[in-house]
Structure 1
Amino acid sequence: MNTAPLISILDDEPEIRTLLAETLREAGFRTQTHGRARDFEAALRSHRPDVCLVDLSLPDTDGLAVVHRLALEEGAIVIIVSGRAQVQDRIAGLELGADDYITKPFDPAEVVARIRARLRRPNAASETGDHARFNGWTANFDSYALTSNAGEEKTLSHAEAEVLRLFLTSPKRLISRAQMLDALGGTAGESFDRAMDVRISRLRTKLGEDPKNPRLIKTIYGAGYIFLGDVVWG
C-alpha cells in the first residue's frame, strides 16, 4: 500500500495540473487533479488529502470560498497557487485559512519544497503529543478540535492549530514575529503579519478571551506574543 502523502490539485488550467502532478509524482507524492471545484469537493468525500493546492480563479466558484471551507471543515494543509499576485489577494487567502500562497508563474521545485516544509512542521512537534490541556481547555491536534471543560467543542483550522501548537509548546516565553515566521513558514511582509493577527484574533475569540484584555495570549507591542497558560501535554 502506497502511504506517500496525497496532494490534491484544483486548477482549471490543464497544463498547470499536468505540470504539478508530474513534478509531485517524481518527488514521491501521490496526486489527484481536478479542474472544477465541484469535482474536487466530491472527491473529498472519499479521500482526505494531506495537502490541497488551490487556484483562486475557477470556472464554477470563487477559489477563496473553497479555501475557507477546507480550512474550517477538512483540516488539510491548504496552499494557494494563483496568478493573483496583489497583496490584498495574498492577505485575503491567508486570512481565510490558507497556510501558504504561491504566485504564478512558479518554479515547480519551489512548490515541492513548500509542500515538504509544511508536511514536516507537524512532525517536528510530535514529541509533545496530539493533546494538550490548559486553563479549562483541551486541544486535540489530531482532530483539530478545541474542547472546553463544559464539553463545548470548537473546530480549529490547520493554520489556527499551527499557531496554537506553537504557543502551547513554548508557554510563558516571548515568541517574536521572526520566530513565528521561522516556525510556521511563509514570506515576511504585510500579508504574513496580517494573517498572524487574524489567526490570533480567532484563537482568542474561540477561547472566550476579552479582546481588550486577553488573559492567555498577550501581545507585547513591538516584540511579539506570550502565552500565559499552564499547559499539560498528553
Structure 2
Amino acid sequence: MSQPFVTILDDEPQIRAMLSDALTEAGFRTASFARATEFEAALAHATPDVCLVDLGLPDRDGLALVHRLALESGAAIIIISGRAQVQDRVTGLELGADDYIIKPFDPTEVVARIRARLRVSRPKGNDHQTARFNGWTAHFDRYILEDDTGEETAFSHAEGEVLRMFLEAPKRLISRQQMQENLGGAAGESFDRAMDVRISRLRTKLREDPKNPRLIKTIYGAGYIFLGNVSWG
C-alpha cells in the first residue's frame, strides 16, 4: 500500500514546517501550501487522502473552501484553526469537515487524528466500493449516487462515511454513541449537529420525503435505522 498523501494549507510557515516534519516522520507523504490558489491548482494533478486546512487564509474564505472540498473531493478534511468558539467548530463540521483541531496543538495529536480518519475511510472487512439498494447504486470510489435511470448525484466524503455506515448495517438500530465510535470525533453538540446535517443531506440526495423518509428512519431518543435491502459488489 502506498503512503497516504496529506496536503497542508496554512499561511504560517512555522506551522507548515512543523506539520510536514511530523507527518513525514510518521510515514506520510506531504505537500504544503501557503495560499488557496496554489493548493487548488495542485488538486488538478494530485488527489490527497487528507487535507489539513487553516480557516484564516490570505486569499480565500476558509469555510467556503472547506465546503467546496467536501462536495468535490474524496479527501478527508481536517480544519486546523485558531478559532476556538463552539459555533466555528459546528459551522466547519456542518459544511463538510471531518474533524476540527484548535491552535495551538501538538503535532502528534494531528498525526493521531489523521490516522483515525484513514481507519474510518478504509473499513475493515469490506473493501467493496459499490453498493446497490432500492434502485440506487452508491459508488464510493467516485463519491457518486446513481439512480435507476443512470442520473448521478455527488456526495461528500463526510456524507459517504455516514452512508457506508448505514449500508454496512441495514435494518439494525445505530445509536448516537455507535455513530461517534464508528466515525470518530468528540461526542457532544457539535458532533450530533454535524450528523443531523449529513443525514438530512443524504435524505435529500436520496429524494426522501423529510416528513416520512422510507430509507433512513429516525428512532427518537435511540438513533437511526436504515431500512433498505443492500447488496455489495
Q: Same fold (TM over 0.5)?
A: yes
TM-score normalized by structure 1?
Answer: 0.97
- Please show how residues 1-234 of structure 1 align to structure 2 within 5 Å: 3-125=2-124, 127=126, 129-234=128-233
One-letter amino acid matched to 2:116: A
In 2, distance between residues paired with 1:218 and 1:35? 43
Q: Tell me the matched-pair count.
A: 233
1:127 and 1:151 mapped to 2: Cα distance?
A: 25
Check the 8 A contact 1:9/1:53 in 2, yes or no.
Answer: yes
| 1:128–1:233 CA contact under 8 A, matched in 2 | no
Partner SS for 1:166: helix
**Could you say what secondary structure the match of 2:224 adopts?**
strand
Which amino acid in the other structure matches residue 17 of structure 2? T
Q: CA deviation at 1:182?
A: 0.3
**Which amino acid in 2 is paired with 1:61?**
R
Which moves more between the two structures, 147-156 or 123-132?
123-132
Give identity over the alignment, percent. 71
Shift of 1:75: 1.4
Once the two structures are superposed, what CA deviation does each residue of 1:15-53 show, in whole Å capped at 9, x if it has no partner? 111100000001011110001100110110111111000
SS of 2:6's partner is strand
**Post-superposition shift, 1:128?**
5.1
- Is the 1:10–1:54 Cα contact (8 Å) retained in structure 2? yes
Q: CA deviation at 1:122?
A: 2.5
Are the structure 2 counterparts of residues 126 and 74 from structure 1 closer, same or farther at C-alpha, using a change threshold of 3 Å?
Answer: farther
Q: Deviations over 1:105-161 (max 9, x none)?
A: 111111000101111122224525111100010001111110000111000100000
Confirm or deny: 8 A CA contact 1:134 1:232 kept in the other structure.
Answer: yes
* SS in structure 2 of the partner of residue 127 of structure 1: coil
SS of match in other structure, 2:126 = helix
Alignment TM-score, normalising by the size of structure 2: 0.98
Tell me which amino acid in the other structure corresponds to 1:183.
N
2:29 and 2:128 mapped to 1: Cα distance? 27
3-state SS in 2 of match to 1:219: strand
Could you list the runs of 5+ residues in structure 2 that have no partner in the other structure?
none
Q: CA deviation at 1:206?
A: 0.2
CA RMSD of aligned residues (A): 1.1
Deviation digits for residues 175-234 of structure 1 (CA, Å, limit 9, x no counterpart): 000000000001111110000000000000000000000010000111100000010111
Partner amino acid, structure 1, of 2:16: R
5+ residue gaps in structure 1?
Answer: none
For 2:59 and 2:125, the matched residues in 1 are separated by 38
CA contact (8 A) 1:218 1:228 kept: yes
Question: Match for 1:51: what amino acid?
Answer: V
Tell me the SS of whatever aligns to 1:88. Answer: helix
